[in-house]
Chain A
Amino acid sequence: MSQGYVPVQWNSDKKKYDLYLWLGVILYIVVFMGVSSAVFKGVAALSPAILLIRAFGSCAFLLLTMVLCIGPLARLDKRFLPILYNRRHLGVSTFLVTLIHGIIVTVWYNGFGVINPFKSLVSAHHDYGSLAQFPFEILGIAALFILLIMAATSHDYWNKNLGPSVWKSLHMFVYIAYGLTIAHIALGALQTDFTGFLPIMGFLSVLIVGALHLAAAFRENRNDLYLDRDEGVNIGHVNIGPWQTIENNQAITVAIDKNEKVAVYRYDGNKLAAISNVCKHQLGPLGEGKVIDGCITCPWHGYQYRPDDGQSPPPYTEKISTYHVSLDGDDMLLDPNPLPEGTARPVTLIPNTDKLTAEANAS
């Protein structure tokens, strides 16, 4: 949250995360090099530099696929949230592995010659009109460039200074990088060899990434309550159903507009508070969070907000919009007009719920 910036706020989980991540990368490269040199040996040996190019290239593609799977996985199953929490480490690692692939290609294929390696890299192919001869290197360079920008701006410092919306849009470019990578493989390596691992892996990757995103979108639509804002504005409130649908210390998410969602929380057993669903950090879904130590806690990276005024507890200074919610019998009535960020408004008490409160206190 808004405290002094350090390059990485290390904790033991992050260290373990990076440890396993790089263990995976090293395992992949070492096994690939070892097995390839055992299978193709003697006069049939393949060039070690070309093996490295293949190993780092395909490993980067696997990592990029993982980066794209984590978001929807975490929405479908909360047990994946810890991987989401450190996703930026995975992103930066993906960039580094891709960079190594690019460096070896540039040096080995384009170095030692009579012209500048970078010129060589982009000038040999020039047939943009033909798929079979398309300069696939350009696609790879563009993907690497996007990964570079994302890795360079992955830090919270940039998130803060660009604003979460700009930052988020910037990081949506990962999908463009993924598309470019698929095209880079399809018009490059697959043009020389369409058998074996790469085509199947590419197909599986697109299938899994696509299916997970569809499933997560479907799940979100099913769980959200969709309401007509205009109608609500006319009469001053919308009925969002009985309070019993909300588990203690959790929320339901109400979509009052295409772009506006409200998280309605029940906590301490008998208290109701509605706040914006959008976390100030990286626009995480607050309605999928929990109340921990009296604060609404974002599921993505743990930013916290007080239910009574939508402000982060000091020393933090984040503020989000709050909403009025009232009760009509068991039904909750939500006023769809947001209050200015950080505005305190009376928390709604559910009457005759002494038993609930006692339960909550006991747990």
Chain B
Amino acid sequence: MKNSDKSPFYVGYLGLPKELSAFYKLLIPFILLMFLLFSLWHSISQKSAGAGVWDLTTPVTLSGVMDTEPYPVLRIPSDNQFGMRSVLLVGLGKQPVNDVAIKFKGKSLALTGNYISRGGYEMLEIVGAEAIELLPVAITLPDVSIRTIAKTTLVGEIVDSKCFLGVMKPGEGKTHKTCAALCLMGEMPPIFVVKNAKGERAGYLMANTDHKSAAEISVPHVAKPINITGQIIRRGDQLILHIDKDAFGDLNQAERLAYGPSFAEEIYTANSQGNFCNIPVKA
């Protein structure tokens, strides 16, 4: 390569020649500006991860009756149409609270923990043994026997409830897959998130046909679009999808395209507060 004798030539130990400092006085701010613009562009072009909340500022105390099936849950009397609200219970990190739940099954308790919620779902993250207080007076609840609603096949994505409901945002899709699998191994309740033609989403808690945890059998199918055939049941205020190990099916190419990105997209606006909710399923 030719260059004129006068062209600036840089040798580290001799320092930057004068002719080059003007060049670098422009180049350095230019590169820094590019960093700034890329960062701005990247940050504002991200997608919303919905309206999930994980409140670490003020612990919440809730009183109700402990149930263990299909997952640890605190059933709290309410004046809604079902006469109760069911709050899922999980431990710190990706750890279950199954032992505690079994120990206190059927007991009336006051539980303190971090409140997690999204759409119609509520969850409490129990922080330690001191968070559990036995109530002197028993709480009475309406009947929670299982009512069968419909057998159906749905297309959607399995998520782990703890992350999806607010602890991780976003808590779904491929980048979150290792975490979702780890959460299911730690007995976080799996939820099958589906979307309808309007893009509205619903989540069905998943359980085995014997109404026990489906977390373990869901692990290989988590965080990707699949179809599931199962029975939708209602227990109290909870809509639950009963499945067995043969319930999972892969999508063919056309179905996958129709489903769209594996990230089950959710349009969040301040008014809608996120439209993740229970879409009623026709019988």
Which residues of A does B touch, CB under 8 Å? 11-14, 20, 23-25, 27-29, 31-32, 35-36, 39-40, 43-47, 50, 54-55, 58, 62, 75, 78-79, 81-82, 85-86, 108-115, 120-121, 123-125, 132-133, 136-137, 188-189, 191-198, 201, 219-220, 223, 247-250, 252-253, 287-290, 292, 297, 299, 301-302, 363
9-residue interface stretch from B43-51, B58-66, B80-88, B134-142 = B43-51
Which residues of B does A touch, CB under 8 Å? 1-5, 7-16, 20, 23-24, 28, 31-32, 35-36, 38-53, 92-95, 167-170, 172-183, 185-186, 222, 224, 256, 261-263, 268, 270, 273-274
A219 to B1, CA, bound (A): 8
Knowing A188-B175, A192-B262, say if A62 contacts B93 (CB, 8 Å). Answer: no
Of the candidates A20, A27, A45, the one whose C-beta lies within 8 Å of that of B36 is A27
A195 to B46, CA, bound (A): 8
- Distance in Å from the Cβ of B205 to the closest Cβ of chain A? 21
A114 B38 Cβ-Cβ under 8 A: no
* CB pairs A–B below 8 angstroms (19 shown): A11-B13, A14-B12, A43-B51, A78-B10, A81-B9, A81-B10, A82-B10, A111-B93, A113-B182, A114-B182, A124-B177, A132-B174, A136-B174, A137-B178, A191-B173, A192-B172, A196-B45, A197-B41, A198-B42
Q: Which 4 A-B pairs have the closest CB atoms?
A: A112-B93, A196-B45, A192-B173, A302-B11
With both beta carbons as reference points, the residue of chain A lying nearest to B168 in the complex is identified as A47
Task: Report A-chain residues with C-beta under 8 Å of the C-beta of B262.
Answer: 132, 191-192
A50 B5 Cβ-Cβ under 8 A: no
Of the candidates B8, B92, B186, the one whose C-beta lies within 8 Å of that of A78 is B8
With both beta carbons as reference points, the residue of chain A lying nearest to B220 in the complex is identified as A126
With both beta carbons as reference points, the residue of chain B lying nearest to A66 in the complex is identified as B31
A197 B185 Cβ-Cβ under 8 A: no
With both beta carbons as reference points, the residue of chain A lying nearest to B11 in the complex is identified as A302
B11 A39 Cβ-Cβ under 8 A: no
Q: A193-B47, A288-B1 are in contact. List 19 more A-B contacts (CB 8 A).
A: A27-B32, A27-B39, A43-B52, A44-B48, A44-B268, A50-B170, A58-B42, A75-B1, A81-B10, A82-B24, A112-B92, A114-B186, A124-B181, A132-B174, A133-B174, A247-B3, A250-B2, A250-B5, A299-B9
A40 to B182, CA, bound (A): 27
A158 to B45, CA, bound (A): 43
Interface hub of A109, A201, A247 (most chain B Cβ within 10 A): A109
A189 to B47, CA, bound (A): 12
Of the candidates B8, B52, B167, B178, the one whose C-beta lies within 8 Å of that of A120 is B178
With both beta carbons as reference points, the residue of chain B lying nearest to A84 in the complex is identified as B10
Task: Report B-chain residues with C-beta under 8 Å of the C-beta of A287.
Answer: 1
- Distance in Å from the Cβ of A79 to the closest Cβ of chain B? 5
Task: Report B-chain residues with C-beta under 8 Å of the C-beta of A40.
Answer: 46, 48-49
A12 to B13, CA, bound (A): 10
A46 to B268, CA, bound (A): 12
A28 to B173, CA, bound (A): 25
A125 B177 Cβ-Cβ under 8 A: yes
